[in-house]
Each structure stands twice: as structure tokens, then as C-alpha cells.
């Protein structure tokens, strides 16, 4: 089930490196290794580095293929760089119906219904789960009351004549 929010997600929302790593579940050690081996991250150094929603989806996907399949980022570095470039300007709404298609030579973002005629060796990663993961991590309401009750009851104030 896809988590939906009634609040529109502004395309200009940016994550710091720490926030992006936290949402994707990337350890500091893995992050340092990826920064050294993925040219896309060369421009994303220091405290000024910011990540778009689309880049965080790509980060989640990379974490998934490394964690679940044991594929080293160095083996697919060109393909991974291409999915980061392609997904960076994309909104979560658009990525929700997309997949990342990685081959040893290329990385593409395709609508799910456009995935046809794949080469014999390709990794296809649905983005829907990662979009849900980002929305839950970013906009999830807790069960706690966010606003405490006022210590005094609200009272109507009569407007005086001026």
C-alpha cells in the first residue's frame, strides 16, 4: 500500500547529507565509499550538499541493490550516476510509477508500463517502495498530540466601537 499525504510535496524540498543517508539507511562508512567511487557525488561535498527527493529515491535504490544483492557500486558506477542524474529533477509523484533500469553500461528511469525489450542482463528496481519509504520518514504523523491544550479556554472578545 502506498503512503499518501494530502499535503503536496514541494519540489524544492532538499535533504542534507545526513537526512538523505538517514532516510535511505546508508551507514557513514558506506557513504564515504560511495562518495569516492561515484562521480555524481563529487559536487555533493560538505555541509552545503543538498539532495532532491528524486536523488533520495535513487540513494534508496542503490542501498537496496548493494545490501540485498551484494553488488558493488564500482561495478555499476556509470549506470548509478545516470540514474541519479535522471531522477534528480523528478518529483515523488512521477517516480512513484517508475523503475530504475540498470545495465553494465547505462542507467535509465522508465515508466513501469514502458519497460519492454530489456537486454539479457538488466536490474529493474521499482521506485514505488522507496517513494513510500521517503514519505513515511518525512511526513509521518506520530500518535502523539503535537499541540498541547491551552491552559485557558478560548474566549470570544467583543469588538468595541471606535
Each residue's pLDDT tens digit in the chain (162 positions)? 343 444 444 557 889 999 999 999 999 999 999 999 999 988 888 778 899 999 999 999 999 999 998 899 999 999 999 999 999 999 999 999 999 999 888 999 999 888 887 777 889 999 999 999 998 888 765 555 555 666 666 667 777 665
Domain assignment present for residue 85? The answer is: yes
Domain assignment present for residue 82? The answer is: yes
Domain assignment present for residue 8? The answer is: no
Domain assignment present for residue 150? The answer is: no
Which of 65, 14, 10, 13 has the alpha carbon at shortest distance from 38? 65
Q: Write out pLDDT tens, residues 4-38.
A: 444 444 557 889 999 999 999 999 999 999 999 99
Domain that holds residue 70: 15-138
Domain assignment present for residue 159? The answer is: no
User: What CA–CA distance (Å, rounded) separates 60 from 138?
Assistant: 14
Domain assignment present for residue 7? The answer is: no
Domain assignment present for residue 3? The answer is: no
| Number of domains making up the chain | 1
Q: How many helices (H) and strands (E) does the chain have?
A: 6, 5
**124 SS3 class:** strand
User: What CA–CA distance (Å, rounded) separates 42 from 100?
Assistant: 22
Residue 102 to residues 27, 47, 107, 146, 148, Cα–Cα distance (Å): 23, 30, 4, 42, 49
Task: State the pTM of this model.
Answer: 0.77
Domain assignment present for residue 109? The answer is: yes
Helix (H) or strand (E) holding 109: strand 107-111
Amino acid at each position: 500500500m502506498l503512503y499518501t499525504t494530502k499535503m503536496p510535496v514541494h519540489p524544492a524540498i532538499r535533504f542534507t547529507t545526513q537526512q538523505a543517508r538517514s532516510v535511505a539507511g546508508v551507514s557513514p562508512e558506506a557513504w564515504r565509499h560511495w562518495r569516492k567511487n561515484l562521480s555524481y557525488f563529487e559536487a555533493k561535498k560538505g555541509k552545503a550538499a543538498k539532495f532532491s527527493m528524486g536523488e533520495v529515491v535513487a540513494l534508496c535504490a542503490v542501498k537496496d541493490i548493494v545490501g540485498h544483492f551484494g553488488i558493488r557500486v564500482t561495478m555499476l558506477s556509470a549506470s548509478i550516476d545516470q540514474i541519479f542524474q535522471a531522477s534528480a529533477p523528478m518529483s515523488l509523484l512521477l517516480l512513484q510509477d517508475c523503475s530504475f533500469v540498470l545495465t553494465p553500461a547505462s542507467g535509465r528511469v522508465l515508466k513501469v508500463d514502458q519497460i519492454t525489450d530489456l537486454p539479457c542482463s538488466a536490474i529493474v528496481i521499482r521506485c514505488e517502495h522507496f517513494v513510500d519509504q521517503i514519505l513515511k520518514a518525512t511526513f509521518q504523523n506520530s500518535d502523539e498530540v503535537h499541540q498541547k491544550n491551552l491552559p485557558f479556554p478560548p474566549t470570544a472578545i467583543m469588538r468595541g466601537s471606535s
